[in-house]
Amino acid sequence: MDFNKELSMQACPVSFVMNKIGGHWKPIILYQLMSGPKRYSELKRAIPTITEKMLIQHLKQLQADGLVDRHAEPVVPPYVIYKFSDRGESIKPVLNAIAKWGYEQWSADNI
């Protein structure tokens, strides 16, 4: 059950991080936010294959994990921007290291 998952996160710091930034959509969302704050509709347009359900679900999770801040202007139509929190900023180097390795390997695969 979830018991094993909890145990893994305590025993393996890499698992802990994967739970925060892993999965199908979170890397893509974070990658988009790395180029600066974006509003909801911008993210939606930037990631055409994502459904609204997945987008909002993962944005909420990223917020709950303290990686992303949400700021809503009380106007109509709504204006909501998402951006890295301070804690989120601290993971950018890690994401860049991952992306760098990924890009190198991707190139190596395609020679």
Partner DNA sequence: ACAAGTACTTACCCTTAAGTAAGCAAGCGT
Partner DNA sequence: ACGCTTGCTTACTTAAGGGTAAGTACTTGT
In the complex, the residues that contact a second copy under the rule CB under 8 A are 4-5, 7-8, 11-18, 20-24, 27-28, 30-31, 49, 87, 90-91, 93-95, 97-106, 108
Alpha helical stretches, state H, the chain: 2-11, 13-21, 26-33, 40-46, 52-64, 86-89, 92-109
CA distance 30 to 90: 13
54 binds, among a second copy, DNA, none (CB under 5 to 8 A by kind): DNA
Toward a second copy, which CB reaches closer, 79 or 103? Answer: 103
Q: Identify which of 20, 33, 8, 41 has the alpha carbon closest to the alpha carbon of residue 84.
A: 33
Residues that bind DNA (CB under 7 A): 1-2, 4, 23-25, 39-41, 49-54, 56, 60, 70, 72, 76-80
Q: Give the Cβ contact number of residue 19 at 10 Å.
A: 16
Q: How far is the CB of 64 from DNA (least distance, A)?
A: 12
